[in-house]
Amino acid sequence: MSDVRECDVVVIGAGPGGYPAAIRAAQLGLKTVIVERDAPGGICLNWGCIPTKSLLHTAELIRGGMQSAPHGVRYGEPEVSIADVVAHSRAVSAQLASGVTGLLAGHGAELVNGVARVVDKGEVEVETSPGRTMRLLADHIIVATGAKPRQLDGIDMGDSRVWTYREALIPDRIPDSLVVVGSGAIGSEFASIYQALGSRVTLLEAASAVLPAEEAAVSEVVDAALSSRGIVTAADATIVGVDQSDSESIMVEWETSAGDRQRSGCDAMLLAVGVQANTSGLGLERFDILRGDGSIITDDAGKTGVWGLYAVGDVAGGPCLAHKATAEAIRCVDALAGVRRVPEPGDWKEWIPRCTYTDPEVASIGISAAEARRRGYDVATGKVSMADNGRCLGAGETTGFAEVTIDRDSGRFVGANLVGAGVTELIGMISVAHTAQMTAAEFARSIIPHPTRSEVVHEAVLKALGRPVNSL
Distance of CA 54 to the CA centre of its chain: 14
Entry pTM: 0.95
Give the strand pairing for 132-143 and 147-149: unpaired
Q: What is the pLDDT of residues 357-379, one digit of tens each?
A: 999 999 999 999 999 999 999 99
Active site residues: 450
182 labeled binding residue: yes
User: In which residue ranges of the chain is CATH 3.30.390.30 found?
Assistant: 360-464
pLDDT at 1 over 80: no
184 labeled binding residue: yes
What pLDDT is stored for residue 343 in this prediction? 79
Q: So what CATH class is 360-464?
A: alpha beta
**Helix or strand holding residue 19 (H, E):** helix 18-27
38 labeled binding residue: no
What pLDDT is stored for residue 107 in this prediction? 98
Give yes or no for a cis peptide into 175 (omega within 30° of 0): no
Please state, in angstroms and rounded to a whole number, the distance separating the CA atoms of residues 469 and 472: 8
Q: Does domain 162-273 have CATH number 3.50.50.60?
A: yes
Q: Which residues of 399-437 are buried (b: 16+ CB within 10 A; e: fewer)?
A: bbbbbbbbbeeebbbbbbbbbbbbbbebbebbbebbeee
188 labeled binding residue: yes
Across residues 256-282, what is the average pLDDT?
95
What does the mean pLDDT of the chain come to?
96
Please state, in angstroms and rounded to a whole number, the distance separating the CA atoms of residues 167 and 160: 9
Contact between 326 and 395 (Cβ < 8 Å): no
> What ranges in 259-315 are assigned the alpha helix state H?
none
What pLDDT is stored for residue 295 in this prediction? 97
Please state, in angstroms and rounded to a whole number, the distance separating the CA atoms of residues 67 and 360: 14
314 labeled binding residue: yes
pLDDT band at 346 (very low <50, low <70, confident <90, very high): confident
Across residues 119-148, what is the average pLDDT?
96
Across residues 205-210, what is the average pLDDT?
97
User: In which residue ranges of the chain is CATH 3.50.50.60 found?
Assistant: 2-148+276-336, 162-273
pLDDT band at 257 (very low <50, low <70, confident <90, very high): confident
Give the contacts of 441 (CB within 8 A, at least 6 positions apart). 411, 465
Q: What is the pLDDT of residues 427-454, one digit of tens each?
A: 999 999 999 999 999 999 999 999 999 9
What pLDDT is stored for residue 2 in this prediction? 67
Question: Any idea of the CA torsion for 273, 47, 117, 330, to the nearest 10 degrees?
Answer: -100
243 labeled binding residue: no
pLDDT at 413 over 90: yes
CATH number for domain 2-148+276-336, candidates 3.60.15.10, 3.50.50.60, 3.90.1150.10, 3.40.1440.10:
3.50.50.60
What pLDDT is stored for residue 219 in this prediction? 98
Please state, in angstroms and rounded to a whole number, the distance separating the CA atoms of residues 151 and 363: 27
Q: Which residues of 361-376 are buried (b: 16+ CB within 10 A; e: fewer)?
A: bbbbbbbbbebbeeee
Across residues 86-100, what is the average pLDDT?
97
Angle, vertex CA 364, rays to CA 388 and CA 239, nearest 5: 115
What pLDDT is stored for residue 181 in this prediction? 98
pLDDT > 70: percent of the chain: 99
